[in-house]
């Protein structure tokens, strides 16, 4: 395949810059489109229309999802559009994927894989601060349900407040979290991080009336799988933790705490250094950003485990600078989005080769 000429690459870079106002407008529209779990259809339709149109479009852009992960998703699209706007077609096949459930199961990408799509290299535009992810960890979601005994508050001690059992069990789960951090000390990729294993109680709901002791408490947890355990062994330890708490702690026992998986059940992925795919990204990053690409390990979940673990495709996770991910003040750096978009566009061109068209 013919490599792009220096002029062609300049044309691509110019096209990224020219298309950038459109890109920002479209990103605004996408950020304003709901994309919560089970309500992702509108965002997916918007992406589908824009993919179809793809003859398509400050310092920080704010909005929930602006960084994680609508900024990167739109960058993929506009990288391809820049290629086309430069009058070029990739010689190889380029897949753009817009998938649901990346934040809770990974099933969207698994489904694409099951439909037979594969590739020689994958670039995932997660907002990783323009650094490359060398390794990420597995994640498990689980729910805990507690049963109390409802009663009038005037005879509070006759009832059993399900919240008490939840508190007691959370203390036990925090002990497991601490143990998991201890066994991660010395790990090749995560051993030097202060607290790589986070156990996050993200939802807790109990009761409906101040004057009643409540008979029900529900909470949802996201926890990171230690690198020395697979998700299956980690899950067994969670179940064991709950079982031991029920045996040893009368309060947990009285609450009949039960635990169930409710989303993520994923293993870690390590990008082996030295691949051709990584080499090209390093080269382009150096060209465009004028410095060396850094790599790091993150306890986040990333869909690269699907391509990397199940298809053995080198999976590069590299994307723009963003802050306050999942926060209401989430924001993405637009200069960084522009720089990443250029890199993605050039990556397509150099990896696939190009022809005029």
Binding region for its own copies (CB under 8 A): 68, 103-104, 139, 141, 149-157, 159, 161, 163, 167, 195, 198, 200-215, 217, 220-222, 224, 262-263, 298-301, 324-328
**Gap between the Cα atoms of 108 and 102, Å rounded:** 7
Which is nearest to 234 in space by CA: 261, 258, 252?
261
Cα angle 98, 103, 105; round to 5: 95
CB of 85 to its own copies, least distance (A): 34
Nearer to its own copies by C-beta: 194 or 356? 194
Nearer to its own copies by C-beta: 8 or 298? 298
CB of 172 to its own copies, least distance (A): 14
**Gap between the Cα atoms of 212 and 158, Å rounded:** 11
**Gap between the Cα atoms of 72 and 76, Å rounded:** 6
CB of 355 to its own copies, least distance (A): 41
* Other CB atoms within 10 Å distance of the CB of residue 27: 25
Nearer to its own copies by C-beta: 26 or 160? 160
**Gap between the Cα atoms of 105 and 188, Å rounded:** 26
Cα angle 127, 129, 131; round to 5: 105
Nearer to its own copies by C-beta: 26 or 264? 264
Nearer to its own copies by C-beta: 68 or 130? 68
* Other CB atoms within 10 Å distance of the CB of residue 1: 12
Nearer to its own copies by C-beta: 9 or 330? 330
CB of 222 to its own copies, least distance (A): 4
Q: Phi then psi for 295, rounded to 5 degrees?
A: -120, 150
CB of 216 to its own copies, least distance (A): 10
Assigned token pair, 241: 């933790």
Three-class SS string for 291-316? CCCCEEEECCCCCHHHHHHHHCCCEE
CB of 51 to its own copies, least distance (A): 27
Assigned token pair, 82: 């820049």
CB of 91 to its own copies, least distance (A): 38
Nearer to its own copies by C-beta: 224 or 352? 224
Cα angle 281, 85, 4; round to 5: 45
């Amino acid at each position: 395949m013919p490599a792009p000429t220096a002029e062609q690459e300049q044309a691509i870079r110019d096209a990224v810059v020219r298309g950038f106002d459109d890109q920002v407008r479209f990103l605004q529209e996408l950020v304003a489109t709901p994309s919560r779990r089970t309500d992702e259809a509108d965002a997916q339709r918007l992406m589908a229309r824009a993919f179809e149109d793809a003859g398509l479009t400050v310092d920080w852009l704010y909005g929930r999802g602006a960084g994680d992960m609508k900024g990167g998703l739109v960058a993929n699209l506009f990288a391809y559009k820049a290629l086309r706007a430069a009058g070029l077609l990739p010689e190889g096949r380029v897949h753009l994927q817009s998938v649901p459930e990346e934040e809770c199961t990974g099933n969207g990408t698994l489904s694409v894989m099951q439909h037979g799509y594969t590739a020689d290299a994958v670039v995932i535009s997660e907002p990783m601060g323009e650094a490359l992810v060398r390794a990420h960890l597995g994640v498990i979601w689980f729910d805990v349900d507690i049963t109390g005994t409802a009663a009038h508050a005037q005879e509070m001690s006759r009832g059993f407040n399900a919240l008490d059992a939840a508190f007691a069990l959370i203390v036990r789960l925090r002990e497991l979290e601490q143990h998991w951090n201890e066994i991660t000390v010395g790990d090749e990729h995560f051993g030097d991080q202060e607290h790589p294993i986070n156990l996050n109680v993200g939802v807790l709901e109990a009761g409906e009336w101040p004057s009643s002791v409540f008979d029900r408490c529900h909470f949802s947890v996201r926890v990171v799988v230690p690198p020395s355990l697979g998700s299956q062994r980690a899950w067994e330890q969670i179940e064991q933790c709950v079982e031991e708490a029920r045996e040893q702690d009368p309060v947990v026992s009285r609450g009949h705490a039960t635990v169930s998986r409710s989303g993520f059940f994923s293993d870690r992925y390590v990008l082996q250094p030295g691949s051709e795919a990584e080499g090209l990204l390093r080269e382009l990053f150096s060209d465009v950003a004028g410095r060396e690409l850094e790599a790091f390990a993150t306890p986040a979940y990333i869909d690269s485990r699907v391509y990397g673990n199940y298809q053995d495709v080198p999976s590069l996770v590299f994307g723009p600078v963003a802050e306050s991910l999942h926060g209401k003040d989430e924001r993405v750096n637009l200069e960084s989005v522009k720089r990443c978009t250029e890199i993605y566009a050039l990556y397509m061109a150099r990896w696939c080769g190009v022809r005029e068209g």
